[in-house]
């Protein structure tokens, strides 16, 4: 396989210290990109940067408007922005506290708004670019038990993705969303371990997909490489489902 699909591209990956963000940052670097890896976890970022050349770590709170604006202002240009950072808030509508709601909105929605808003002028100046947003099949696509706030925020991400795709297609900016089902990330593993019967919980999560297992971060990263590359130049506004058949 040729490792040059992103040669010369300057890419941002948020949530890069672990899981899908980490795998994508590594995949982008392998494909020849200059990667700026963002997260609040400085230790996770340090170990990521030590693993591959071409990755510059930045400890950044992407829910902070000033921090996001300052970071983007310092960039010479921008070709790809992958907004991967997010949290899973567990609970039903009646169990959702104001603190849960506000945190889910801040991390999953406001950060994407701020990041995209900062990216557009840079991409416009460079003649175009690709924005990729991490959504979920738990969104406007469908629901899941105990995921009220999470589903609401991911539906918002899909709405923002469609809107940005339409508004900026004429200036060469593409905006697509990735919609996975269960993925074997560190945070997913943590949630399973915290459950009463982790073995049964893992079996239940795996059986949600007709293929009989959860996805891997590397599989999602491969899609993120495609959406960042010129091979997907005709795609914008797509909500790409990658779910092992969970929504069939």
Cα 191 from Cα 201, distance rounded (Å): 9
Rounded Cα–Cα distance for residues 221 and 25 (Å): 8
d(CA 233, CA 87): 30
Catalytic residue among 150, 168, 226, 234: 150
Could you identify the residue written with the tokens 């099949």? 137
Task: Report the alpha-carbon distance of residue 229 to residue 223 in Å, rounded.
Answer: 10
Strands (E) in 84-215, as ranges, are 129-134, 173-180
- Of 37, 61, 179, whose CA–CA distance to 111 is shortest? 61
Helices (H) and strands (E) in the chain, counts: 9, 7
Active site residue 28: no
| Phi, psi (deg, nearest 5) at residue 159 | -65, -45
Structure tokens at 106: 């801040």
Distance CA 145, CA 11 (A): 35
Which residues contact residue 96 at a Cβ distance below 8 angstroms, ignoring those fewer than 6 apart?
89, 148, 149
Distance CA 229, CA 73 (A): 24
Q: Which residues participate in catalysis according to the annotation?
A: 150
């Amino acid at each position: 396989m040729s490792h040059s699909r992103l040669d010369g591209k300057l890419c941002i990956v948020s949530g890069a210290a672990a899981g899908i963000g980490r795998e994508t940052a590594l995949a982008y670097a392998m494909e020849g990109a200059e990667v700026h890896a963002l997260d609040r976890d400085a230790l996770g970022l340090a170990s990521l940067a030590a693993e591959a050349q071409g990755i510059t770590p930045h400890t950044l709170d992407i829910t902070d408007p000033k921090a996001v604006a300052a970071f983007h202002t310092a960039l010479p240009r921008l070709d790809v922005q992958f907004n991967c950072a997010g949290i899973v808030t567990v609970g039903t509508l009646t169990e959702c506290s104001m603190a849960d709601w506000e945190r889910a909105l801040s991390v999953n929605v406001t950060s994407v708004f701020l990041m995209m808003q900062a990216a557009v002028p840079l991409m416009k100046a460079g003649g175009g670019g690709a924005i990729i947003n991490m959504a979920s099949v738990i969104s406007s696509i469908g629901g899941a038990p105990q995921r009220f706030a999470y589903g609401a925020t991911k539906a918002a991400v899909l709405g923002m993705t469609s809107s940005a795709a339409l508004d900026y297609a004429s200036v060469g900016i593409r905006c697509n969303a990735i919609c996975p089902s269960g993925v074997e990330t560190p945070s997913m593993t943590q949630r399973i371990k915290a459950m009463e019967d982790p073995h049964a919980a893992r079996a239940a999560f795996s059986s949600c997909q007709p293929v009989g297992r959860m996805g891997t971060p590397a599989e999602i990263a491969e899609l993120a490489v495609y959406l960042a590359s010129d091979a997907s130049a005709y795609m914008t506004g797509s909500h790409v489902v990658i779910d092992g058949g969970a929504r069939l």
